[in-house]
Amino acid sequence: MKTKTELQIELLTEARTRLSNQLENIKEEDLKKKLGLSPNSVGFLLRHIGDVELLFSKNVFGAADIKVTAKTVIDKRDTGEWTNLGELIEYIKYSFESLRTIVEKQTDADWEIEISTKEFGTKSKIEAFGRIVSHTAYHAGQIAIINKYGIF
């Protein structure tokens, strides 16, 4: 029988394919695309996914060694600076590896521990984990639509 943590790693890995399967089709020029009057570009959303995964690794799961300046969260808007595809891909690979590594360290009992943040209040780690998994998938869907129908 698999542990809760092993099951969560499987869930995280599978859900992340909603993003990772798109990466080979994104070109550097796509990073500036937006959909109509929407405020966020593909590049911003990629950086935002990485920022939030790193914040979860540090603040929810306790990865004290993570240093993150979540510029997309701090600025709360697309500043147009996220235009280097290589850097963004490396960043989101790093954020995923960081999240997966700290999640792998959780015990079955850890999933029931309650944590509190100003962003979403008090939740168990398993509930918080649901938020980060769905956050990444949500923005991956936005990226797919923007990349398909967006304009520069």
Residue 51 CA to residue 68 CA, distance in Å, equals 7
Per-residue pLDDT at 120 exceeds 90 = no
Tell me the C-alpha distance between 88 and 20, whole Å: 12
- Indicate the average pLDDT of the chain: 95
The pLDDT tens digits of the residues spanning 93-119 come to 999 999 999 999 999 999 999 999 888
Can you identify the CATH homologous superfamily of domain 4-149? dinb family like domain (1.20.120.450)
Nearest to 7 by CA among 129, 141, 139: 129
Determine the pLDDT at residue 152: 83
Ranges of each domain in the chain: 4-149
What is the per-residue pLDDT across 48-85, written as a single tens digit (0 to 9) for each? 999 999 999 999 999 999 999 999 999 999 999 999 99
The per-residue pLDDT for 90 is 97
The tokens of 117 are what?
């943040």
Query: Token pair of 88, please?
Result: 């963004």
Give me the pLDDT at residue 122, please.
Answer: 95
pLDDT at 20: 96
Please list the residues that pair with 149 across neighbouring strands: none
Q: What angle (nearest 5°) sits at the alpha carbon of residue 91, between those of residues 115 and 36?
A: 90
pLDDT score at 73 = 93
